Amino acid sequence: MTTHLVLVGAGHAHLHLLKHASVLRRAGYRITLVAPTRFWYSGMAARLLSGAPRNACSLDIAALSARHGIEHVTAPFVALDVHTQHVFLADGHHIAFDVLSLNVGSDVVPPIQTGAIVPAWGDARYWHVKPIERLDALRQHVLDAAQQHRALHMVVVGGGPSGVEMAANLAGLSQRLGAANDIRLVTRHSRLLPNAPDAAARWASRQLARLGVDWHPSVALDGNTGWLDFLDVSPDDIVLATGLRPAYCVADLPLALDDNGIRIKTTLQSEQHATIFAVGDCASLIDHSLPKRGIEGVRQGPVLLHNLIALQNGTSLRDYHPPVTALAIVDMHDKGLALYGERWRGGRLALRLKRYIDTRFLRRYR
């Protein structure tokens, strides 16, 4: 008897399942994927912003699904009924499942306590760093302004890796276009990259200064426009890189949740439902705080594949053990900052390593 496996989202872990669809079919699964037509690789977000071709930073999910014989549905996922075992889509259709896996990603954490998605900070245009495809529109916006010989006043909010990458690559893009854009970086903390070694954070601040980014530390963000007064100009654009939380659709799911997402066991199963799995940024491992980073989804992929087959065969499931530390490389336009625990190295070699890793990852699925 065939078991219907529905995959919602085409994140890092589900890409692994698509590549091994034949293995799942041999185990007795029929597979339906609910996902957009393209997968935008978060590791290349900065490259996308700074000018890399769209196709170099993404995968054609429609073509990938067709190549592996998977039914692909593009209507957005909006709701879940765990009792009737149906997922509901924005076009009014619904799909019955026997086993479900959720890999729906993340969105930006609002920078103010009220929980507003977009704070009322003047008349600026707002951009979120997630989903990644929004950065393609931001790049086009900068290109259009440059063609009109119009300088932009742009503020990036957030001093973590995403904020540093956005500021550096907006500055690099502006320089390449010959545009006199004013790029500011605003952070709550008194230093950049709070989880990095102090020396690495100082190196990053020097690179931003070299690229012409004006950094404003220790800014108390709130719900009104008061913090904008010290900028001397009204920003045309505000880029929000204020941390990540599970995709907005997760909050309404009838599953056990916490602030980090869908609560899952070490087997990647929902805390409450053995036939529902969750992976990547939308999942929260019980008793273990997982950072929102792509490497978690990449490493969860093989465990998820094994456990889906084990569930079908009635054999033992495998536990997912997060890495104690992992390599992260911050893309600063023409240099990279490699971080591994307390070790770090900045320079062009680090950026070349990042380019190699990212290209190899996407080539695996092309």
Does position 219 have pLDDT exceeding 60, yes or no?
yes
Does position 50 have pLDDT exceeding 70, yes or no?
yes
What's the per-residue H, E or C state across the chain? CCEEEEEECCCHHHHHHHHCHHHHHHCCEEEEEECCCEEECHHHHHHHHHCCCHHHHEEEHHHHHHHCCCEEECCCEEEEECCCCEEEECCCCEEECCEEEECCCEEECCCCCCCCCCCCCCCCEEEECCCCCHHHHHHHHHHHHHHCCCCCEEEEECCCHHHHHHHHHHHHHHHHHCCCCEEEEECCCCCCCCCCCHHHHHHHHHHHHHCCCEEECCCCCCCCCHHHHHHCCCCCEEEECCCEEECHHHHHCCCCEECCEEEECCCCEECCCCCEEECHHHEEECCCCCCCCHHHHHHHHHHHHHHHHHHHHCCCCCCCCCCCCCCEEEECCCCEEEEECCEEEEEHHHHHHHHHHHHHHHHCCC
Q: How confident is the model at residue 34 (pLDDT cuts 50, 70, 90)?
A: very high
Kindly state which CATH superfamily the domain 3-108+244-313 is placed in: FAD/NAD(P)-binding domain (3.50.50.60)
Which CATH number applies to 125-242+327-363?
Answer: 3.50.50.100
Percentage of the chain beyond pLDDT 70 is 95
Give dist(CA 358, CA 351) in Å, integer: 11
Q: How confident is the model at residue 343 (pLDDT cuts 50, 70, 90)?
A: very high
Q: What is the mean pLDDT of residues 328-353?
A: 97
Distance from first CA to last CA of the chain, Å, rounded? 32
Does position 223 have pLDDT exceeding 70, yes or no?
no
Please check whether residue 350 is in contact with residue 335, taking contact to mean a CB–CB distance below 8 angstroms.
Answer: yes
Tens of pLDDT along 81-103? 999 999 999 999 999 999 999 99
Tens of pLDDT along 149-201? 999 999 999 999 999 999 999 999 999 999 999 999 999 899 999 999 999 99
101 three-state secondary structure: strand
Report pLDDT for 111. 64
Helix axes 294-313, 12-19, angle to 10 degrees: 50
Q: What is the mean pLDDT of residues 283-312?
A: 93
Q: How confident is the model at residue 225 (pLDDT cuts 50, 70, 90)?
A: low
Report pLDDT for 114. 46
Report pLDDT for 366. 87
User: Of 39-43, 112-116, 330-334, where does mean pLDDT reach its minimum?
Assistant: 112-116
Report pLDDT for 112. 55
Report pLDDT for 90. 96
H/E segment holding residue 351: helix 348-363
Going from N- to C-terminal start, the domains of the chain cover: 3-108+244-313, 125-242+327-363
Q: How confident is the model at residue 121 (pLDDT cuts 50, 70, 90)?
A: low
Whether 3-108+244-313 and 125-242+327-363 share one fold: the answer is yes
Please check whether residue 101 is in contact with residue 7, taking contact to mean a CB–CB distance below 8 angstroms.
Answer: yes
Does position 119 have pLDDT exceeding 60, yes or no?
no
Report pLDDT for 117. 46
